[in-house]
Structure 1
Amino acid sequence: MTVHIITIDGPSGSGKGTLAAKMAKHYGYHLLDSGALYRLLGLSLHQKELLDALDTRLDECVEIATHLDIKFETKDETTAIILDGVDVTQTIRTERVGEFASKVATIPELRKALFDRQRAFIQSPGLVADGRDMATAIFPEAQAKIYLTASAESRAERRVKQLQAMGLDVKMSDILANIQARDKRDMERAVAPLRPAQDAYQIDSSDLSIDEVFELMTRYVNSRIEA
C-alpha cells in the first residue's frame, strides 16, 4: 500500500504549523512537526545544561537526540507536544526556545540523529510533514511538496499576535529582527539550507487567509495524489 506524503516547508511564521494540522485532519493522515523536534531537543539540552557544551559533549547530545521521549497528541485542530511526560506545547513556542532550536539545527551530527526519528513518522495511510527541509532532505520522495512563505513583516505581525495571546509582552521591532536573523541563518547554513524543492508548489501567504491557503493546498494535493 502506498503511503502518501505531503511536505510543507517554509520560513518561521508562514503558517506551516496551523495548515499542517488542518491538512492532517482533512486527509486523516499522521502529523510531523519537525520544527518541534528541534525545539524539543534544544529545550532538553538546555534543561540538562548541555546546550553550551555542544563542542565538548557532542556524543552525549547525540545520544539524547536519538532517544528523545516525545509524543504528539492531536485533538481537534490542536496538537499537544509532550517531552518526558510533560506538556511543553506553550514552552517550546517561545522565542527563547526558538533560539535553542536554531542553534541545534546547525550541528550536522544532531540533524543526522533526528533523521531516522523523522522518517519513522511514515505510516499508513499518509503523513503531513511540516518543516524547513522536509521535501529537500527528509522526504524527497513525497508526492506533494508545498513551500509556504510570506513577507518578514507579515510573519512578524502574526508572531506578535500569537505571543500576545499567550500573555507575553513583545515588541514588533524585536520580533521582526529575530525573524530576519533566523531566515538568514536557515538559508545560509551548510547542512540542508532552507529553500524550496525544485518541484515544490510555492504559495505566498502574506495577503491570504488560512482558509484561502488551505483551499490552494488541497486543490494541489488532490491533483498530485490522484495523479
Structure 2
Amino acid sequence: MAETIAIDGPSGAGKSTVAKIIATKLNFKYIDTGAMYRAVTFLALEKDVIMEDNDIIIKIARDISIDFSTPDKDGNVLVFVNSRDLTDEIRSVEVDNNVSKVASIPEVREIMLEKQRELAGNNNVVMDGRDIGTRVLPDADLKIFLTATLEERAKRRYYDLVEREIDIDMAEVEEKIKIRDEKDSNREHSPLKEADDAHKIISDDLTPEEVADRIISLLEGGG
C-alpha cells in the first residue's frame, strides 16, 4: 500500500528542500504544491493578466498542465509547465509578490486540489505546501508541520535570492515573508494551518538532512 507524507509550513521553512531529500532517499514521488500555484501565477504574469481578473486566472489554472521530474542524486527537481521547463522562472520576485493573490482564489484552490490528488495517485509520495495535511491529503500516513522563526526564514530566502543573483535587501525579504505569512494564515479558503495530528518540527538549528532523517524516522515508527 502506498505511503504518503504531508509537509506543511510557512514560507522559508525549508519544506521543499527537506521533501526533495526524503523523496531521493525513499524513492518517493515529490510534489511541490507551492510550485503549482507559482506556475499559474507565472503564466498569468506572462500573459499580462490583471491580478484582479479572477475569471482568466481560473481558466489558466483549469487549462494548465504541471509535472515534476524525479529528484536527481542532488535532490534537484524540474518543474514542467505545459511541457516547458519553468523551474527557475516560477521562483522570480515578481511571482513571489503575486502568488498569494492567486492562491487565495477559491476556485483555483479547488482546481489545484484535484490536480494535486491526481499527481499523487497511488504512488508513494511526499507532498509539501500549506494545506496538505488539512485538505489535500487529510489521511496521509505522516503529517509534518515544519516551521522556523521569521528571522531564520528570511535569512534562508535572502541567501537563495542572492545565489540566483537577485538584488534585494534582507529587511525587504523579511517584510515580504511577514506579509505572506499573514495572507496565508488568514485567507478564508484553505489557510495555512497545523493539522491536529501533525508532528511539529522547528528547523532553526537543524540542517535539511537532519530534518529529513527525523521525518523518515517518524515514518518508520522511530518517534
Q: TM-score, normalised by structure 2?
A: 0.94
Distance 1:52 1:34 in 2: 20
Q: SS of the counterpart of 1:79?
A: coil
* Paired residue type of 1:155: R
Q: SS of the counterpart of 2:120?
A: coil
Distance 1:119 1:173 in 2: 37
Residue pair 1:71, 1:83 contacting (<8 A) in 2 also: yes
Aligned position for 1:23: 22
In the alignment, structure 1 segments of 5+ residues that lack a partner are none
Distance 1:155 1:54 in 2: 31
Question: Once the 2 structures are TM-superposed, how far is the Cα of residue 132 of structure 1 from its aligned partner?
Answer: 0.4
Question: Once the 2 structures are TM-superposed, how far is the Cα of residue 53 of structure 1 from its aligned partner?
Answer: 4.4
Aligned position for 1:215: 213
* Paired residue type of 2:200: Q
Q: 1:147 to 1:174 in 2, by over 3 A?
A: same
Identity %: 34
* Paired residue type of 2:128: D
Determine if the alignment matches structure 1 residue 65 to structure 2 residue 61: yes
Distance 1:38 1:149 in 2: 20
Determine if the alignment matches structure 1 residue 136 to structure 2 residue 113: no
* Paired residue type of 2:23: A
Question: Once the 2 structures are TM-superposed, how far is the Cα of residue 72 of structure 1 from its aligned partner?
Answer: 1.2
Residue pair 1:30, 1:123 contacting (<8 A) in 2 also: no
Question: Once the 2 structures are TM-superposed, how far is the Cα of residue 170 of structure 1 from its aligned partner?
Answer: 1.4
Residue pair 2:57, 2:102 contacting (<8 A) in 1 also: no
Distance 1:185 1:106 in 2: 8
Aligned position for 2:177: 179
Distance 1:51 1:111 in 2: 19
Q: SS of the counterpart of 1:147?
A: strand
Distance 1:155 1:125 in 2: 31
Q: Would you identify which runs of 4 or more consecutive aligned residues in structure 1 move more than 6 Å?
A: none
Shifted more, 100-109 versus 35-44: the winner is 100-109
- 1:79-131 CA-to-partner distances (Å, cap 9, x unmatched) read 11122332211111122212221111111011111111000022344110010
- 1:168-214 CA-to-partner distances (Å, cap 9, x unmatched) read 12110000000001001101111111111000000000111112212
Residue pair 1:7, 1:130 contacting (<8 A) in 2 also: yes
Distance 1:190 1:125 in 2: 31
Which residues in structure 2 correspond to 1:165-176 (within 5 Å)?
Answer: 165-176=163-174
Distance 1:207 1:72 in 2: 30
Aligned position for 1:120: 118
What count of residue pairs does the alignment treat as equivalent?
Answer: 221
Residue pair 1:66, 1:117 contacting (<8 A) in 2 also: no
- CA root-mean-square deviation: 1.6
Distance 2:189 2:201 in 1: 24
Aligned position for 2:37: 38
* Paired residue type of 1:6: I
* Paired residue type of 2:28: Y
Question: Once the 2 structures are TM-superposed, how far is the Cα of residue 62 of structure 1 from its aligned partner?
Answer: 2.3
Question: Once the 2 structures are TM-superposed, how far is the Cα of residue 5 of structure 1 from its aligned partner?
Answer: 0.8
Distance 1:24 1:163 in 2: 24
Distance 1:121 1:87 in 2: 17
Residue pair 1:3, 1:123 contacting (<8 A) in 2 also: no
Shifted more, 122-131 versus 38-47: the winner is 122-131
